[in-house]
Amino acid sequence: MEARRETPLGDTQDPFAAPNAGVRRLWRWARQQWLIPILLLATVVRFYDLTAAAIWGDEGSSLLLARYSLTGIWQHAAFDVHPPLYFMLLHGWIGLFGEGILSIRSLSAVAGIATVGLGVCLVDRLATRRAAIIAGVLLALLPTAVRYSQEVRMYSLLGLLLIGSTLALICWVRRSQRRRYLLIYALLMSAALYTHYFAVLAALSHWLYLGLIRLLPGYRLRHIQRKDWWLANLAIVVLYLPWLPNLLDLTQHMEELKVGGDVGWEDPVTLSSLPSMIWLWLIQDDGEHLPLLLFCGVPLALLALAGVAVARDRSVNHGSVLLALYTGMPLLLVFAVSFISPVFIERYLTAYALGLPMLAALAIDRLYRRARVLAVAILVSWVGVELVGVNTNATVDPHDQFNVMVDYINRHFVSGDRIVTSDMLWYLSYVYYNRTDAQVRLYTPPAADGRSTRPNHYGFGTLVSEEVYLDRLGDLPKGSARVWLIGDLDVDVPDPFRPLPTTWQLRDQTHAGGANARLFSLTTDNGTTEK
């Protein structure tokens, strides 16, 4: 009989390897990996100044959608550019903890902290304890992850689900007789697909990984051929079937989404966009002001570092290949696609940026064995670069935020005042901070050719009722004495409210957070209030 060359993999570092592993074993493992101080570090950088920046338009859309019932969220998300799971979780989170800014942003912060812990677990299964500790520190400080752990959006949750599913995959590869890992994988990957459409890129990287390790010499890892792997992915498809008609409908209405500015607003990519994305991940700046040698050199050095991690991987399961595919494949694929249809946006790829510090940790750990000084220098440099990005995130002027302007209006509001915003993003932010009894209106003047500029029922338009739109300033309710007009502060942006009625008189003005608010009294030619 032909001997099977696929053998079970050892699990010497797995704290749960013993059938009856308990709390003590878990605690001992956590102490060995410095997990508590790493998670404390992740907590500090994510909760620091969590409430300093004002809620911006996309966050406002999350809150508006989360205010619907679960059924309503499902229905409205079908017309939005994102699936419903995050908004459903936010709905429940608000029900438990309220709608204060600290509360609503804490959901993403908690997800970001948990992701760091899962990253430590993942690297621990791929390499040494030292590599796991390094990965934990670098993940805790990764600027792009910190940033999106402080926003009321789904990107931090997506990172948690994708790192969790990747961990479940590697646990199954190591101990394929334990099918529960595949069950966990199927549930987490399904949840990720219900969180963001870009989750499919992680699934693709997982398939590529299993395909590559199947081709390695020795024919030991035939996981891609196993029936239970195919059944797990079939389960993912079945779980996603209820949402699939909504996704197919959305793909047939891209023009409607472009009209509303939900897609198609992205800048075209260039060859410099790729290194710029790496710099955005690391320092929260596109780096294009840097000297060319530095601008291109650092991303190339990171590529070399990833190469070291892969080339010096002597493990049976070749986990470095998995992390390289997880990070590199989505980055390169989205970059290539963006030459046709631009979608090369930092927040869409933040979940995949999480693989970069883990790859770096593997490389540093392997270099440390033969070139300690070089390894330490790389680690110190990496931490230094990340601290620059963390500082960039934390550099927020609380006195120049959108909410400061809205608070001014709240204090000076007089019963009967009207409030009109110039575009959707200002509207979405304003609604959260509005403390008056006025219905905030969205100005949608007809285009020069007479076409309506009202959003359609796709994208942000699904969140706004018809009575919110104001096509003409003259359509304000009769008897209105004053109106607040909210628009861009940038002088290079044409005033969308022009021309204003000649009888309107400017009474007050304030600005903050890039927005300008003007208070006008509405008077007729004889000086009386308009009737």
Q: Please answer whether residues 471 and 462 qualify as being in contact, where contact means their C-beta atoms are separated by less than 8 angstroms.
A: no
Rounded Cα distance between 15 and 152, Å, is 34
* pLDDT tens for each residue of 107-154: 999 999 999 999 999 999 999 999 999 999 999 999 999 999 999 999
> 218 pLDDT exceeds 70?
no
For residue 135, the cross-strand partners are none
Range in 193-202, 226-235, 375-384, 444-453 the model is least confident about? 444-453
Identify whether residues 406 and 363 lie together within a single domain. Answer: no
**223-238: average pLDDT:** 94
Residue 14: inside a domain: no
Q: Please answer whether residues 308 and 366 qualify as being in contact, where contact means their C-beta atoms are separated by less than 8 angstroms.
A: yes
3-state secondary structure (DSSP) of residue 80: coil
Identify whether residues 358 and 313 lie together within a single domain. Answer: yes
Q: Please answer whether residues 361 and 126 qualify as being in contact, where contact means their C-beta atoms are separated by less than 8 angstroms.
A: no
Identify whether residues 329 and 437 lie together within a single domain. Answer: no
Give the DSSP letter string of 188-229. Answer: HHHHHHTT-GGGHHHHHHHHHHHHHHHHSTT----GGG-HHH
User: To 10 degrees, the CA torsion angle through 434, 438, 439, 442?
Assistant: -80
Domain ranges, residue 141: 23-394
- CB within 8 A of 380, min separation 6: which ones? none
Residue 5: inside a domain: no
Residue 4: inside a domain: no
Q: What is the pLDDT of residue 20?
A: 52
Rounded Cα distance between 159 and 238, Å, is 23
Task: Kindly state the tokens that stand for 19.
Answer: 């059938």
Q: Please answer whether residues 183 and 232 qualify as being in contact, where contact means their C-beta atoms are separated by less than 8 angstroms.
A: yes
Residue 17: inside a domain: no
pLDDT band of residue 457 (cuts 50, 70, 90) is confident
Rounded Cα distance between 495 and 520, Å, is 15
* pLDDT tens for each residue of 233-282: 999 999 999 999 999 999 888 888 877 677 767 888 999 999 999 999 99
**417-421: average pLDDT:** 95
Domain limit, last residue, from 360, 375, 394: 394
> 526 pLDDT exceeds 90?
no
Report residue 435: phi and psi, to 5°: -115, 15
Task: Kindly state the tokens that stand for 187.
Answer: 């549930």
Q: What is the pLDDT of residue 435?
A: 95
Q: Please answer whether residues 152 and 115 qualify as being in contact, where contact means their C-beta atoms are separated by less than 8 angstroms.
A: no
Domain limit, last residue, from 394, 421, 456: 394
Identify whether residues 83 and 177 lie together within a single domain. Answer: yes
3-state secondary structure (DSSP) of residue 395: coil
Range in 132-136, 194-198, 338-342, 347-351 the model is least confident about? 338-342
Identify whether residues 339 and 425 lie together within a single domain. Answer: no
Please state whether the peptide bond connecting residue 342 to the residue before it is cis, i.e. omega within 30 degrees of 0: no
Q: CA 425 → CA 58, 105, 261, 471, distances in Å?
A: 7, 19, 10, 17
Identify whether residues 467 and 410 lie together within a single domain. Answer: yes
Identify whether residues 367 and 417 lie together within a single domain. Answer: no
Residue 121: inside a domain: yes
Give, for 381, the enclosing helix (H) or strand (E). Answer: helix 372-394
The 10 Å Cβ neighbour count of residue 308 is: 18
Residue 15: inside a domain: no
DSSP single-letter state for residue 487: E
- CB within 8 A of 149, min separation 6: which ones? 46, 108, 109, 111, 112, 113, 156
Q: What is the pLDDT of residue 11?
A: 45
pLDDT band of residue 478 (cuts 50, 70, 90) is confident
Q: What is the pLDDT of residue 230?
A: 96
Identify whether residues 246 and 325 lie together within a single domain. Answer: yes
Residue 1: inside a domain: no
User: Which residue in this structure is represented by tokens 């229905």?
Assistant: 75
Task: Kindly state the tokens that stand for 297.
Answer: 């050199």
* pLDDT tens for each residue of 355-385: 999 999 999 999 998 899 999 999 999 999 9
Q: What is the pLDDT of residue 220?
A: 67
Residue 6: inside a domain: no
Report residue 242: phi and psi, to 5°: -60, -30
**156-160: average pLDDT:** 98
> 32 pLDDT exceeds 90?
no
Range in 4-13, 17-26, 142-151 the model is least confident about? 4-13
Identify whether residues 360 and 286 lie together within a single domain. Answer: yes
Rounded Cα distance between 498 and 202, Å, is 48
**480-489: average pLDDT:** 92
Identify whether residues 492 and 376 lie together within a single domain. Answer: no
Domain limit, last residue, from 394, 417, 437: 394
Q: What is the pLDDT of residue 40?
A: 96
**25-31: average pLDDT:** 80
The 10 Å Cβ neighbour count of residue 391 is: 12
Identify whether residues 343 and 451 lie together within a single domain. Answer: no
Identify whether residues 375 and 317 lie together within a single domain. Answer: yes
State the maximum Cα–Cα separation within the chain, in Å, rounded to a whole number: 105
Q: Count the domains in the chain.
A: 2
Residues present in the chain in total: 531
Rounded Cα distance between 182 and 174, Å, is 12
Q: What is the CA radius of gyration of the chain?
A: 26
Q: What is the pLDDT of residue 1?
A: 34
Task: Kindly state the tokens that stand for 232.
Answer: 């797990």
Pick from 24, 82, 41, 333: nearest CA to 208: 333
pLDDT band of residue 4 (cuts 50, 70, 90) is very low
CATH code, 498: 3.40.50
